[in-house]
Structure 1
Amino acid sequence: MSIAVRPVDPAADAAVLHAWVTQPRARFWGMSDHSVDDVAHVYAYIHDQAHLAAYLLLSGDHPLGLLQTYDPAVDEIGRWYDRAPGDVGVHLLLADDPRRAGRTREVIAAGLDLVAHLPGCRRLVFEPDSRNTASVSLLERLGCVRGPLVELRTSVAEKPAQFFFLDRERALVLARR
């Protein structure tokens, strides 16, 4: 069964997203203390913004990951690195779920394919917390190019952010594997 992608429904998906973002392994999402209602409000806000989007990565009806995108030309994160036309910011959270076992590559490929096919996309931009060794290692394994390490301070996050970049063509190659 292939991985499907659909937009997050803030109300309907709040419980599953809450279960993910409040796990200790997701502490870098900064939502550990959020209630289900808080999570629903966050994703309703994302849903209402033209420069933000959130998607679930699913196997059948079962969610295995969360992908969020943002436009660095609009989002305040874009002030922290040398933006380029066609940049698309990406956040990815993979479910800690036994049904994802052996399918991580497929889940990631579906997300990369979605982002690489967004209108105007030329480069994917990631900025995980540099202390998030799992994310940093994943981005390195994908062949992302390491960018600047910055002390990011925005209205929603403060973190040592390690930027990584992945050009659209490489993302498409990874999506086809």
Structure 2
Amino acid sequence: MASPIGNITLRPIQAEDDTEIEMLHRWVTHPKTAFWLMQDRTVEQVRQEYQRIAAHRHHEAFLGLVEGRPGFLAERYDPRYVELAGLYEPEDGDVGMHFLCAPGRTPVHGFTRAVITAVLAWIFTDPDALRVVVEPDVANTAVHALNAAVGFQVVGRITKPEKEALLSVCTWHAFQSATAALPTVPALPHRGTAE
């Protein structure tokens, strides 16, 4: 079976590019992306958010390109300092992750799973990344199922200022085991057997 999406690349978001920010504004304010919590933001507020992330030492935002065309957002952060500071016991090698598939495009079966798989594989190319940590809204059942399919294990509920979240973690080995049979998994670097 062929991959539902072709070549995926990621590059830093260009917050000074008006066209890019207007596109991101359409994505993050779309009714289907309510869990991104930016529904009421203006274009300028979206620009300021991504400028803030770009200036942060422990947070990065990327535009995901699918065969050279914008298809998703991905964020990588250090949960000791961003999003989860003081809300859980971090471990060495923890990396926080968010992703958002572009809404409004013609649905492609398997697209979201291929995106999360590619984002996780990209994070795990860093040998210091031992565990990916996520904190989706407890009501976001679709993403909970997706997370489980790629190897995330639920740690428990946490209360954040903006939501009740389901803290979940995924090790490289859990990800590799969960996705080993998928034809869409990008090649992963060998890490041996130690976790």
Cα displacement string for residues 46-87 of structure 1 (whole angstroms, at most 9, x for unaligned residues): 001110001111113311111111101222513111211110
Higher share of residues assigned helix: 1
Note if contact 2:64-2:73 (Cα within 8 Å) is conserved in structure 1: yes
Note if contact 1:18-1:35 (Cα within 8 Å) is conserved in structure 2: yes
**Shift in Å, 1:106:** 2.9
Cα displacement string for residues 140-165 of structure 1 (whole angstroms, at most 9, x for unaligned residues): 22221001101212xxxx10010110
Q: Distance in 2 between matches of 1:134 and 1:100?
A: 16
Q: Indicate the residue corresponding to 2:131 in structure 1.
A: 123
Q: Distance in 1 between matches of 2:165 and 2:23?
A: 26
Which aligned pairs between 1:93-132 and structure 2 lie closer than 5 A?
A: 93-96=100-103, 97-98=105-106, 100-118=108-126, 120-132=128-140
Gaps spanning 5+ residues in structure 2: where? 1-5, 180-184, 188-195
Task: Count residues with an aligned counterpart.
Answer: 173
The structure whose Rg is larger is 2
Q: Give the TM-score normalised by structure 2.
A: 0.81
Q: Indicate the residue corresponding to 1:77 in structure 2.
A: 84
Q: Distance in 2 between matches of 1:134 and 1:102?
A: 13
Closer, same or farther: CA 42–119 of 1 in aligned 2, 3 Å: farther
Say which of 35, 47, 50 aligns to 1:40: 47
Q: Distance in 2 between matches of 1:29 and 1:106?
A: 19
Closer, same or farther: CA 172–8 of 1 in aligned 2, 3 Å: farther
Structure 2 residue 29 is the aligned partner of structure 1 residue 19: no
- Provide the aligned C-alpha RMSD in A: 1.9
Q: Indicate the residue corresponding to 2:191 in structure 1.
A: none
User: Which amino acid is the alignment partner of residue 48 of structure 2?
Assistant: H
Note if contact 1:6-1:56 (Cα within 8 Å) is conserved in structure 2: yes
Q: Indicate the residue corresponding to 1:137 in structure 2.
A: 145
| Residue aligned with 1:56, SS | strand
